[in-house]
């Protein structure tokens, strides 16, 4: 359990007045930091000057130091002593989510927010971020780098990773927001304090889980397009974070399926139909497709492992993996075509097998790459270790294959535009109608 040390300056501004139209509301901006001694002072001075000069509401800046090992805490204390509207708290354990949880759960502000210490997001977006929360129009607000009107400067690697991550959220967990990872978010305090006990992650997946929980409970999430410039000094371990995010998505998905992903909030969607609608919402057709795909995937994986072991007796691991995947990929595509996506008849079957072959190539690259890395790192690995590595790589490949099948190969609109056979049209119609009824898209 974390040990929390908190130091406060003098109270931040006058108390709220019921006759001031909300202008006396208190907004708390949390800046989580870890070993940011070199940039902390300049960033907080810039943020404080901006808010003092332009922000129309009372504010407080909270520096949340989560277990820094350099001089970050010393700098934070100096800033607190210099500015009455700056406070600092120190945690004994790392984790951005942990720092935000502590700061937000103890806040007495009307609105809580957070931004990254590098201030990559243009501060002019901060008032548009919090204004709908103060007015009561929205419950949470996020800055988005992926919506129309945003201006982003960053390298292609992080751009691709960000877009793929948010695509995964929309395709697998029905996320309606566009950018889960932008370090520029705010929420009404009473709302976020009701959600926090149900948020399990303590690190980078924390705010994604918070947003998914809010949306699942029918809360309104306001998006603001932002100007954003990548910090070249960012020390985020992208691969480790991506792995943890995938684990978080799987955990949240299980909670959604079991009905455990709920919080004691009175949400309402834009159509006024309430939180129950948000809790029940899944992408059209997915309630049937996921179990069917999972069962077929289990049998395909077992078949592939058996074939791999047999072929491994007469050939190398990479060739054995490739050949076993080719055979099972054909059967997997045919089974998913019939049982997961309900497509019958010979129409376009050959083309769909070819398109399924592209998904197979992605699986081949992932699993073969995993085996190659295994043998490069640990030459002479046993068959058992090879199989474990293969199962791990195939898990990632399976998720990618499902998304490609659902969003491309067997997309209902694509099927309806295809050969026009009765079987295909009948299959496409129910999901298309379901998408229209829920106001969403089938993808």
Nearest to 176 by CA among 267, 72, 301, 100: 267
Query: CB burial class (10 A; 0-12, 13-18, 19+) of residue 159?
Result: middle
- Cα-Cα-Cα-Cα torsion 259, 185, 139, 160, nearest 10 degrees, comes to -50
Q: Is 258 helix (H, G, I), strand (E, B) or coil?
A: helix
User: Per the structure block, which two tokens stand in for 122?
Assistant: 């243009």
Residue-wise burial string across 42-51, b where 16 or more C-beta atoms lie within 10 A, e elsewhere: ebbeebbeeb
Question: 443, 411 in Cβ contact below 8 A?
Answer: yes
Active site residue 431: no
Q: What is the H or E stretch that residue 87 is in?
A: strand 86-91
Nearest to 176 by CA among 269, 307, 79: 269
CA 326 from chain center: how many Å? 32
Torsion angles phi and psi, residue 286, rounded to 5? -70, -30
Rounded Cα distance between 106 and 189, Å, is 10
Angle between helices 206-216 and 96-105 (to 10 degrees): 50
Selected catalytic residue, list 207, 245, 269, 431: 207
Only one residue has tokens 């927001």, namely 177
The residues annotated as belonging to the active site are: 207
């Amino acid at each position: 359990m974390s040990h929390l040390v908190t130091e406060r300056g003098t109270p931040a501004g006058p108390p709220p007045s019921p006759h001031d139209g909300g202008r006396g509301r208190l907004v708390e901006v949390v800046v989580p930091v870890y070993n940011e001694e070199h940039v902390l002072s300049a960033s907080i001075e810039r943020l404080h000057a901006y808010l003092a000069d332009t922000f129309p509401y009372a504010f407080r800046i909270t520096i949340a130091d989560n277990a820094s090992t350099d001089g970050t805490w010393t700098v934070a204390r100096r800033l607190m002593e210099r500015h009455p509207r700056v406070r600092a708290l120190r945690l004994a354990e790392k984790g951005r989510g942990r720092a935000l949880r502590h700061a937000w759960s103890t806040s007495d502000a009307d609105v809580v927010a957070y931004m990254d210490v590098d201030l990559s997001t243009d501060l002019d977006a901060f008032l548009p971020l919090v204004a709908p929360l103060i007015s009561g129009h929205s419950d949470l607000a996020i800055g988005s780098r992926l919506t129309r009107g945003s201006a982003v400067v960053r390298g292609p690697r992080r751009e691709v990773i960000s877009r793929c991550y948010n695509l995964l959220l929309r395709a697998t967990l029905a996320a309606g927001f566009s950018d889960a990872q932008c370090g520029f978010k705010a929420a009404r305090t009473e709302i976020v304090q009701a959600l926090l006990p149900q948020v399990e992650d303590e690190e980078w997946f924390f705010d994604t889980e918070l947003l998914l929980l809010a949306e699942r409970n029918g809360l309104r999430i306001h998006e603001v397009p932002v100007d954003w410039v990548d910090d070249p000094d960012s020390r985020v371990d992208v691969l480790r974070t991506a792995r943890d995010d995938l684990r978080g998505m799987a955990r949240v998905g299980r909670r959604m399926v079991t009905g455990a992903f709920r919080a004691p909030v009175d949400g309402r969607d834009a159509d006024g139909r309430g939180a129950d609608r948000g809790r029940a919402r899944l992408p059209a057709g997915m309630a049937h497709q996921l179990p069917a795909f999972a069962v077929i995937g289990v049998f395909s994986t077992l078949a592939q492992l058996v074939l791999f072991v047999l072929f491994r007796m007469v050939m190398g691991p990479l060739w054995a993996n490739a050949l076993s995947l080719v055979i099972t990929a054909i059967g997997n595509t045919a089974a998913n075509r019939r049982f997961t996506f309900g497509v019958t008849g010979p129409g376009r079957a050959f083309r769909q097998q070819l398109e399924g072959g592209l998904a197979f190539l992605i699986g081949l690259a992932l699993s073969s790459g995993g085996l190659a890395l295994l043998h490069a790192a640990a030459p002479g690995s046993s068959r058992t270790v090879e199989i474990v590595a293969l199962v791990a790589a195939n898990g990632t490949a399976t998720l990618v294959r499902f998304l490609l099948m659902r969003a491309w190969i067997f997309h209902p609109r694509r099927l309806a535009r295809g050969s026009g056979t009765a079987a295909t049209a009948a299959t496409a119609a129910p999901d298309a109608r379901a998408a229209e009824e829920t106001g969403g898209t089938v993808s």
